[in-house]
Amino acid sequence: MGTEAAAWDAREPPEPVPYSPMREFVYQALATSALALGTWYLHWRWTQSLNRDALWIALPLVVAETLAFFGSLLFFLSIWRTHDPEPQPPPRTRRDIATLVPGEDRPLIVDVFFATYNEDVELVRLSLRDAKAMTYPHPIDIRIHALDDGRRPEMRAVADQEGVHYLTRTTNVGFKAGNLRNALEHSQGDVIVICDADTRPFPALLEQTLGYFRDHDVAWVQTPQWFYDLDPGVSLPDWLAKRAKLGRLGRLVGRGLETVLGPIRVGADLFGNDPQMFYDVIQRRRNWCNAAFCCGAASLHRREAVMEAALRAYADEVDGAVRPFADDVHDPELKSDFEAALTSEAARDIEFTPYKFHVSEDIYTSIVLHSDQSRHWKSVYHPQALSRMLSPQDLLALTIQRFKYAGGTLDIFWNDNPLRRPGLSSWQKLMYGTTIYSYFAPLWAVVFLLSPIVYCFTGIAPVAAYDSAFLTHLVPFLVFNRLAFAAGTWGVNTYRGEQYYLAFFWLNLRAIAHVLRRKPIRFHVTPKTRQAGTFLSLVRPQLVLIALTMAGLAYSGTLLVTGVRSNVTGFLTNLLWSLNNVLLLSVIVVAALRKPTAEGA
């Protein structure tokens, strides 16, 4: 890794896409048109174009289309407007961020937490060193802590050498959330910076973000997570000339295509790790309604907010445990004694946890704070990256990460639905709802994947007819949908994300099943999977679907050529549809074949 790391070291994070009111207006106009055309199309689909002879396929498809359309509606609304936070000057002392009694003030204390478990200690050393290099214009007490859940003597040695605090504990209860809780109990900063083992802060991290805490209601600040190790890929002309061995002609064709389509890089970010779509588009547009959520690494938290919410959650839980029993006792004196005894019991038993012990503790804590009715905590998403980190390096690591995201979010929805929480505004609910809803997408994605296969093999169409009326209704919606999406995500490469959105359908289906069966959210990895060298075993369903789709195309193509079938529009529609499916699915197969690196495996 050494030499590659040196090559990445010089990379700078991309600037956030500059805000343009004009583009935002164009986006809103296009999105409104797309939604209107989509409503018109779906109305027509439901009322006039169902294949009544084959409702078993016609109904699932129209339902899937409707659910997907609802997803588009949520998505378009969730990225409706951008409002970046006003930068604030760095606070001088504690008084600038909290209400204090007269006469008591001091420089700010900031705790920087690096949660680690089994990462290379030399990698953690780089992170610790970068944290030590953070600057601040006023006196400040920065305390850096290596939180080692692996209890490794070599990690302690590195912490000692770097002159930072080393913290560990005897158990691994609650995993990362438990590790953070332990750190909170053993530290005393006014503000906490949460970093993963590989999060390397830039010198300006505190200077640029602590100012937001001047607003006493700001509970946390999230900065973008930027991966500095993403594979930049090869430019299309180079790829055509060298890899595809087309020489000068290839280069010429490549240049021509790039002139029309813009720069194209083949093989860039094969694992779809680039989080720019999530941060620069999705999170950034949640700022205006105070709905940007915390994503763990590279975020800063007001200790007071974390602790206050934890205290309240604890008190409520104690009360919830006592109330049902105490309410059954009617004699006032007996009741008071009984209540006191029960309260004491519950207060001792119930966990006091500043971070929810949950796979998605970051989004969960965000929901708890956003819905806190007595405080109305605010969140800030700071658009510029102020740290860098490493991305998952192979399909297995990526699969484990995505499974955790999906399962964690669905688990929150299932067990503590934020949409039913009093205290969240309608827009906050819409934002959280959009995130949750997106994890249900595989339910309808399956229908989109299977429909063309069914048509190709059986000739049974889910629509009344693949005719010009169908295209007249569908094409304008699709075109405006694409245009709105392009305008809404302008300047951000979204294609990999779209590919994985579909390609991970199987993983997300499994996450849904996991949550429904109340199984712990952990992706089960067999030793065989790890040893195989490639991860094809992870993508069997995608391989089967690709094979079936291609076979279906060959089959129905043959029938068309030989005159057995005559519907050309039907064939062409399903051809495009199938090819799109295959193109989207194929990324994960290519990713599975990529040899895992030593660190990733």
Partner 1 sequence: MDVTFDEIDGVLVVVPRVKQLDCASAIAFRDLILDKVAGKDRVVLALGHVRYMDSSGIACLVHIIKRMPAGGQLRLAEVDHRVYHLIKLTRLDRIFPAFADVAGAVKG
Question: Is the Cβ of residue 39 or residue 188 nearer to partner 1 in the bound state?
Answer: 188
Query: Residue from 43, 83, 129, 186 that binds partner 1 (CB under 8 A)?
Result: 186
CA distances (Å), origin 204, targets 6, 160, 199? 21, 25, 14
CB of 310 to partner 1, least distance (A): 7
Number of residues that bind partner 1 (CB under 8 A): 34
CB of 372 to partner 1, least distance (A): 10
Label residue 158 exposed, middle or buried (CB < 10 Å: 0-12, 13-18, 19+). Answer: buried
| Residue 345 lies near partner 1 (rule: CB under 8 A) | yes
Q: How far is 75 from 69, CA to CA, in rounded Å?
A: 10
CB of 533 to partner 1, least distance (A): 49
| Residue 341 lies near partner 1 (rule: CB under 8 A) | yes
Q: How far is 44 from 50, CA to CA, in rounded Å?
A: 9
| Residue 568 lies near partner 1 (rule: CB under 8 A) | no
Q: How far is 204 from 332, CA to CA, in rounded Å?
A: 60
| Residue 181 lies near partner 1 (rule: CB under 8 A) | no
Question: Is the Cβ of residue 213 or residue 505 nearer to partner 1 in the bound state?
Answer: 213
Subset of residues 61 to 120 that bind partner 1, contact rule: CB under 8 A: 98, 100-101, 104, 106, 109
- Give, as one character, the DSSP assignment of residue 53: G
Question: Is the Cβ of residue 313 or residue 449 nearer to partner 1 in the bound state?
Answer: 313
Q: How far is 370 from 380, CA to CA, in rounded Å?
A: 12
Question: Is the Cβ of residue 283 or residue 371 nearer to partner 1 in the bound state?
Answer: 371
Question: Is the Cβ of residue 189 or residue 250 nearer to partner 1 in the bound state?
Answer: 189
Question: Is the Cβ of residue 265 or residue 375 nearer to partner 1 in the bound state?
Answer: 375
Question: Is the Cβ of residue 106 or residue 482 nearer to partner 1 in the bound state?
Answer: 106
> Of the candidates 304, 338, 278, 62, which has an alpha carbon nearest to the alpha carbon of residue 191?
304
CB of 369 to partner 1, least distance (A): 13
The answer for residues whose C-beta is within 8 angstroms of residue 517's C-beta and 6 or more apart is none
CA dihedral 540, 542, 544, 550 (to 10 degrees): -150
CB of 371 to partner 1, least distance (A): 15
Contact 124, 146 (CB under 8 A): yes
| Residue 374 lies near partner 1 (rule: CB under 8 A) | yes
> Of the candidates 207, 208, 213, which has an alpha carbon nearest to the alpha carbon of residue 191?
213
Draw the binding track, 375-404, toward partner 1 (x: CB under 8 A; -: no contact). x-----------------------------
CB of 180 to partner 1, least distance (A): 15
Q: How far is CA 582 from the centre of its chain?
A: 24
CB of 576 to partner 1, least distance (A): 58
Question: Is the Cβ of residue 65 or residue 308 nearer to partner 1 in the bound state?
Answer: 308
User: Is the dihedral angle over the CA atoms 362, 368, 371, 376 positive or is it negative?
Assistant: negative
CB of 344 to partner 1, least distance (A): 5
Contact 46, 62 (CB under 8 A): yes
Question: Is the Cβ of residue 4 or residue 345 nearer to partner 1 in the bound state?
Answer: 345
Question: Which span (118-126, 335-343, 380-388, 393-401) binds partner 1, by CB under 8 A?
Answer: 335-343
Question: Is the Cβ of residue 308 or residue 394 nearer to partner 1 in the bound state?
Answer: 308
CA distances (Å), origin 363, targets 142, 209, 322, 391? 26, 20, 29, 20
In the numeric block, which tokens belong to residue 123? 């990698």
Question: Is the Cβ of residue 344 or residue 580 nearer to partner 1 in the bound state?
Answer: 344
- Give, as one character, the DSSP assignment of residue 539: G
CB of 303 to partner 1, least distance (A): 5
Q: How many CB atoms lie within 10 A of CB 560?
A: 17
CB of 94 to partner 1, least distance (A): 9
Q: Which residue has the tokens 């609910």?
A: 429
Question: Is the Cβ of residue 281 or residue 310 nearer to partner 1 in the bound state?
Answer: 310
Q: How far is 290 from 371, CA to CA, in rounded Å?
A: 11
Subset of residues 298 to 317 that bind partner 1, contact rule: CB under 8 A: 303-304, 307-308, 310-312, 314-316
Query: Residue from 5, 157, 249, 340 that binds partner 1 (CB under 8 A)?
Result: 340
CB of 356 to partner 1, least distance (A): 16
Contact 355, 299 (CB under 8 A): no
Question: Which span (83-91, 340-348, 411-419, 570-578) binds partner 1, by CB under 8 A?
Answer: 340-348
Subset of residues 115 to 174 that bind partner 1, contact rule: CB under 8 A: none
Question: Is the Cβ of residue 181 or residue 473 nearer to partner 1 in the bound state?
Answer: 181
Question: Which span (120-128, 187-195, 268-276, 564-572) binds partner 1, by CB under 8 A?
Answer: 187-195
- Give, as one character, the DSSP assignment of residue 336: H
Question: What proportions of the chain, in percent to the nearest 5, are helix, strand and coil?
Answer: 60, 10, 35
Contact 395, 271 (CB under 8 A): yes
Q: Are strands 191-196 and 299-302 parallel, antiparallel or unpaired?
A: antiparallel
Amino acid present at 396: L
Q: Are strands 140-148 and 165-167 parallel, antiparallel or unpaired?
A: parallel
Q: How far is 239 from 253, CA to CA, in rounded Å?
A: 11
Question: Is the Cβ of residue 109 or residue 478 nearer to partner 1 in the bound state?
Answer: 109
Measured in degrees and rounded to the nearest 5, phi and psi for residue 116 equal: -140, 155
> Of the candidates 107, 94, 111, 97, which has an alpha carbon nearest to the alpha carbon of residue 182?
111
CB of 173 to partner 1, least distance (A): 15
* 3-state secondary structure at position 111: strand
| Residue 327 lies near partner 1 (rule: CB under 8 A) | no
- Give, as one character, the DSSP assignment of residue 271: T
CB of 343 to partner 1, least distance (A): 6
Measured in degrees and rounded to the nearest 5, phi and psi for residue 184 equal: -60, -40
Query: Residue from 61, 197, 205, 318 that binds partner 1 (CB under 8 A)?
Result: 318
Question: Is the Cβ of residue 154 or residue 185 nearer to partner 1 in the bound state?
Answer: 185
User: Is the dihedral angle over the CA atoms 359, 362, 366, 369 positive or is it negative?
Assistant: positive
CB of 184 to partner 1, least distance (A): 9
CB of 174 to partner 1, least distance (A): 16
Sites of contact with partner 1 (CB under 8 A): 98, 100-101, 104, 106, 109, 185-190, 303-304, 307-308, 310-312, 314-316, 318-319, 340-341, 343-345, 347-348, 352, 374-375
